[in-house]
């Protein structure tokens, strides 16, 4: 009986994880490699409000590790302050997405994180939920869409920017969200959108970017969003790996 129950549970679990992008399934045990002297550091900020599956910092960290010849440090947003980031001296900061209900978040717990965003000149790239929280930090609201946008969608580029170097006017990206920003926050520029929401934005004067889509979930057959991340790394002065995926 125990074997039958185990097999049933395994089949249910297998069917469950098949619904997630491949990189989540293949990086469930990923950990940051040991740091190498002399390499720049990228800080990946876990924006999930708990440790529930899926742990998006693992898929994001592995994705960044494949692209950038850099060290990687993982921090939880609750531990982010201007001082904690300054102590790491990162060349860039990446904000992950999240899959928890917005009601699970406390504004008090995000005070240090918002303070960091309001002050930093370090290049920051917010992904999906990280993009939304970046907008929230600067005066936008996070609102429901009434449906889930999940899969590959084309977006329209509305403004030229170095992050789009080498990319077509309507890149194909992987979205997975049911929340969005209600508007471009004050001090930011709209870079790209689709009929559903803001898809890319940038601060007018500082290297702060937000994208609603998930570059780490895109298949290698659809390289547009991966190239955007590479362009961001180049702007931050981070060397790319020669064998990084296109």
Q: Which of 46, 128, 149, 177 is catalytic?
A: 128
pLDDT of residue 99: 83
CA trace torsion 45, 186, 155, 221 (10° rounding): -20
**Residue 243 placed within a domain:** no
Query: 99, 131, 177, 214: which one is catalytic?
Result: 214
Q: Is 214 a catalytic residue?
A: yes
Question: Which residues lie below 8 Å from residue 64, measured CB to CB, with a gap of 6+?
Answer: 42, 44, 70, 72, 94, 216, 229
8 is a catalytic site residue: no
Would 105 be classed as within a structural domain?
Answer: yes
pLDDT by 10-residue block (mean), the chain, 246 residues: 55 48 81 96 92 76 96 96 97 94 88 97 97 97 94 95 93 94 98 96 98 90 92 97 68
**How high is the pLDDT of residue 181?**
98
Distance CA 116, CA 148 (A): 30
- The reply to whether 200 falls in a domain is yes
* pLDDT of 197: 96
Q: Report pLDDT for 218.
A: 85
**What distance in Å separates the CA atoms of residue 62 and residue 24, rounded to the nearest whole number?**
10
Containing structural domain, residue 31? 2-235
Report the C-alpha gap between 231 and 200 in whole angstroms: 14
- Give the pLDDT score at 117: 98
Does some domain include residue 44? Answer: yes
Residue 244 counted as domain residue:
no
Residue 10 has what pLDDT? 41
Q: CA–CA separation, 127 vs 133, rounded Å?
A: 10
Which candidate in 46, 62, 197, 216 is catalytic?
216
Q: Tell whether 215 is covered by a domain.
A: yes
Specify the number of domains making up the chain: 1
What was the pLDDT predicted at 25? Answer: 77
Q: Is 246 contained in some domain?
A: no
- Residue 123 has a pLDDT of 98
Q: Is 49 a catalytic residue?
A: no
Here the CATH number for the domain that contains residue 106 is 3.40.50.880
Q: Residue 52: its pLDDT value, please?
A: 56
The CA distance from 30 to 46, in Å, is 14
Residue 43 confidence (pLDDT): 98
Q: Is residue 240, in this structure, part of any structural domain at all?
A: no
């Amino acid at each position: 009986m125990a074997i039958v129950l185990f097999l049933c549970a395994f089949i249910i679990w297998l069917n469950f994880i098949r619904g997630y992008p491949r990189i989540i399934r293949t990086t469930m045990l990923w950990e940051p490699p040991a740091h190498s002297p002399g390499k720049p550091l990228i800080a990946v900020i876990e924006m999930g409000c708990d440790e529930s599956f899926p742990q998006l910092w693992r898929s994001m960290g592995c994705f960044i590790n494949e692209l950038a010849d850099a060290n990687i440090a993982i921090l939880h947003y609750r531990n982010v302050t201007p001082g904690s980031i300054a102590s790491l001296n990162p060349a860039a900061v990446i904000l992950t997405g999240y899959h928890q209900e917005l009601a699970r978040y406390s504004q008090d717990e995000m005070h240090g994180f918002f303070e960091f965003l309001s002050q930093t000149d370090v290049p920051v790239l917010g992904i999906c939920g990280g993009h939304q929280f970046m907008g929230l930090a600067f005066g936008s609201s996070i609102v429901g869409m009434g449906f889930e946008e999940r899969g590959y969608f084309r977006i329209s580029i509305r403004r030229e920017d170095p992050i789009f170097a080498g990319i077509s006017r309507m890149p194909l990206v992987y979205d997975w969200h049911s929340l969005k920003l209600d508007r471009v926050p004050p001090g930011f520029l709209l870079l790209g959108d689709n009929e559903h929401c803001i898809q890319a934005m940038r601060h007018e004067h500082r290297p702060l970017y937000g994208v609603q889509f998930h570059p780490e979930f895109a298949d290698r057959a659809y390289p547009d969003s991966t190239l955007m991340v590479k362009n961001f790394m180049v702007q931050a002065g981070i060397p790319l790996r020669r064998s990084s995926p296109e």
